[in-house]
Amino acid sequence: MSEENRMQKIISLAKRRGFIYQGSEIYGGLAGTWDYGPLGIALKRNITNLWWKRFVDDRSDMYGVDAAILMNSKVWEASGHVDGFADPLVEDTKTKKRYRADHLLEDEGIDAAGMTPEEMNAAIAENDIQSPDGNPLGEVQQFNMMFKTNIGAVEDSSSVSYLRPETAQGMFVNFKNIIDSFHPKLPFGIAQIGKAFRNEITPRDFLFRTREFEQMEIEYFIHPDEWEKHFDEWQRELREWNAFIGLDEERIIERVIPEGEGAHYALKTIDFEFKYSFGQKELFGLAYRTDYDLKKHHDGSGESLEYFDQQSGDRFIPHVIEPSLGVDRTILALLESVYSEEEVDGDTRTVLKFKPHVAPVMVAVLPLLRKDGLPEKAQEVFEGLRDVFVCQYDETASIGKRYRRQDEIGTPFCITIDHDTLEDDTVTIRDRDSMEQDRVPVKELESYIQERIS
Ligand code: GAP
């Protein structure tokens, strides 16, 4: 199967089985937006809940927040986003279609990372690069990616606000609140999961580059002398997270971003890249943001964002290590990691091999036939398990077809109720990956499943 074909198969499975749909589909869609269906949101919630439990609830040095998406525009002026959060845009002079200049250069094998617009113009001219439609290109300009809006009824410069392009600033502006409410000692972190918006010039590759997406971010505040130690710790934490949720580790590459290529605020960045079907690209990032942001807000707001170290008597602005993960890219990398096709008895079996704690449905309960009292017994088993596991009940089609359907959505366990169940209160339970079946008493089902998922 070609890589392109594989991506198409994943997109079509995601739609067919209710994971992810095109945004506003019945109106022809809206570029760069995707809607999560019932199984997609179940998968996404599992990922975000696992992240929150691991990095917030299970730690005593972490404080969760949920800041407003709309923020005072001074936040974005101070952070540098109003002036600097831009991508290089270039226009096809005939069709007026717009492209990312760095992408067009990269498509021609030219590394455009860190190039200024002037350098890109020169590279386009030197290499006689045309638009994908074969037309001449205009001048490269910087295009600010923030979505602008107006707050209230008056549309003037004083009412301008932006949809946040990263959740991070919501944490920096709450630094003082957390200090005042909880008096934490360094090191400590603020964590947030929420939507971010970027007016991407060319959204593409399914969930990879969208205009509305979700981030799971941590700002971990430290003493500057200890940044390397904490950076290494977070690198290890992120590796463990990848394994924990079942990403294919062989497809993850950690790339240290060379100086001059990374974000303006970061002194060191490691991108965790993933070998997607459409190429090796960023999954998430780990950055040492220094005291850049707190300092900007300290100066911009006039409020002191210094930390007072009672032991040493020092007063300083803490530095920060930032693990910044995209939820949607995680979902995409996960779908790529678990999608598999196998030959079974001359047929192709499509399986999503999710780890059980990530799977959107944990258990399917299936009566063998739709008669002889089997559906009633199956409903009873279903009701007994649904408080503990996410369960699905299905009595349509042949049992073989129902197994295949559950394989396609990645359900780890299928329980079948047959005539013997009515006699001895046992059921068959089928393992998704080995397809082996065990006979288990109904009263032992919960412990049987718990044992295999812990
Ligand atoms: N606070 C730092 C920050 O926002 P970033 O590298 O611009 O850094 C962090 O974004 C992560 O957010 C990315 O690694 C990616 O997972 C996700 N992300 C960024 N832009 C995205 C987009 N247009 N579509 C989907 N995910 C995106």
pLDDT tens digits for 104-114?
999 999 999 88
pLDDT of residue 253: 98
Is the pLDDT at 281 greater than 80? The verdict is yes
Q: DSSP code of 49?
A: H
Ligand 1 touching residue 215 (CB < 6 A): yes
Q: Report the C-alpha gap between 406 and 412 in whole angstroms.
A: 8
Q: What is the 3-state secondary structure (H, E, C) of 244-255?
A: HHCCCHHHEEEE
Would you say 223 and 290 are in contact if contact means Cβ atoms under 8 Å apart?
no
pLDDT of residue 238: 98
Q: How many whole angstroms from 201 Cα to the centroid of ligand 1?
A: 15
Among 47, 205, 209, 215, say which to mutate for ligand 1: greatest number of ligand atoms within 8 Å of CB. Answer: 215
Give the residue, by CA position, lying nearest to ligand 1 atom 2: 324
Q: Which atom of ligand 1 is nearest to the CA of 284?
A: 14
pLDDT of residue 265: 83
pLDDT of residue 233: 98
pLDDT tens digits for 295-336?
999 999 999 999 999 999 999 999 999 999 999 999 999 999
Query: What average pLDDT score do residues 142-155 get?
Result: 93
Between strands 62-64 and 147-150, the pairing is unpaired
pLDDT tens digits for 12-31?
999 999 999 999 999 999 99
Read off the pLDDT band of 407 (50, 70, 90).
Answer: very high
Q: Report the C-alpha gap between 30 and 62 in whole angstroms.
A: 37
Q: How many whole angstroms from 218 Cα to the centroid of ligand 1?
A: 13
C-alpha pair distances (Å), 155 with each of 12, 69, 159, 162, 319: 42, 19, 6, 13, 38
Give the residue, by CA position, lying nearest to ligand 1 atom 20: 209
Work out the mean pLDDT of the chain and round it to a whole number. 96
pLDDT tens digits for 201-246?
999 999 999 999 999 999 999 999 999 999 999 999 999 999 999 9
Would you say 135 and 95 are in contact if contact means Cβ atoms under 8 Å apart?
yes
pLDDT of residue 138: 96
Q: Report the C-alpha gap between 296 and 80 in whole angstroms.
A: 9
Query: What average pLDDT score do residues 259-283 get?
Result: 92
pLDDT of residue 207: 98
Ligand 1 touching residue 139 (CB < 6 A): no
Q: Report the C-alpha gap between 232 and 352 in whole angstroms.
A: 33
pLDDT of residue 264: 78
Q: Report the C-alpha gap between 170 and 174 in whole angstroms.
A: 6
Is the pLDDT at 32 greater than 90? The verdict is yes
Exposure string for 78-107, b = 16+ CB within 10 A, e = fewer: bbebbeebebbbbbbeeeeebbbbbbbbee
Q: Report the C-alpha gap between 28 and 187 in whole angstroms.
A: 49
Measured in whole angstroms, the distance separating CA 264 from the mean position of its chain's CA atoms is 23
Read off the pLDDT band of 43 (50, 70, 90).
Answer: very high
Read off the pLDDT band of 3 (50, 70, 90).
Answer: confident
Is the pLDDT at 454 greater than 80? The verdict is no
Q: How many whole angstroms from 31 Cα to the centroid of ligand 1?
A: 17
Ligand 1 touching residue 206 (CB < 6 A): no
Is the pLDDT at 4 greater than 80? The verdict is no
Among 284, 320, 322, say which to mutate for ligand 1: greatest number of ligand atoms within 8 Å of CB. Answer: 284
Q: For the whole model, what pTM was predicted?
A: 0.95
Give the residue, by CA position, lying nearest to ligand 1 atom 19: 326
Q: How many whole angstroms from 325 Cα to the centroid of ligand 1?
A: 7
Is the pLDDT at 129 greater than 80? The verdict is yes
Is the pLDDT at 158 greater than 90? The verdict is no
Ligand 1 touching residue 198 (CB < 6 A): yes
Structural tokens at position 85 = 């959060």
Is the pLDDT at 263 greater than 90? The verdict is no
Beta bridge partners of 415: 365, 429
Ligand 1 touching residue 200 (CB < 6 A): yes
Q: Report the C-alpha gap between 27 and 146 in whole angstroms.
A: 25
Q: How many whole angstroms from 168 Cα to the centroid of ligand 1?
A: 11
pLDDT of residue 308: 96
Q: How many whole angstroms from 27 Cα to the centroid of ligand 1?
A: 27
Read off the pLDDT band of 398 (50, 70, 90).
Answer: very high
pLDDT tens digits for 44-82?
999 999 999 999 999 999 999 999 999 999 999 999 999
Provide φ and ψ at 152, rounded to 5°. Answer: 85, -170
pLDDT of residue 154: 85
Would you say 212 and 197 are in contact if contact means Cβ atoms under 8 Å apart?
yes
pLDDT of residue 123: 95
Q: Which atom of ligand 1 is nearest to the CA of 285?
A: 14
Nearest C-alpha neighbor of 449 from the set 404, 378, 402, 387: 387
pLDDT tens digits for 352-392?
999 999 999 999 999 999 999 999 999 999 999 999 999 99
pLDDT of residue 262: 80
Beta bridge partners of 319: 222
Query: What average pLDDT score do residues 271-295 get?
Result: 97
Q: How many whole angstroms from 145 Cα to the centroid of ligand 1?
A: 12
Q: Report the C-alpha gap between 19 and 7 in whole angstroms.
A: 15
Structural tokens at position 96 = 């007026």
pLDDT of residue 261: 82
Give yes or no for a cis peptide into 187 (omega within 30° of 0): yes
Beta bridge partners of 162: 71, 148
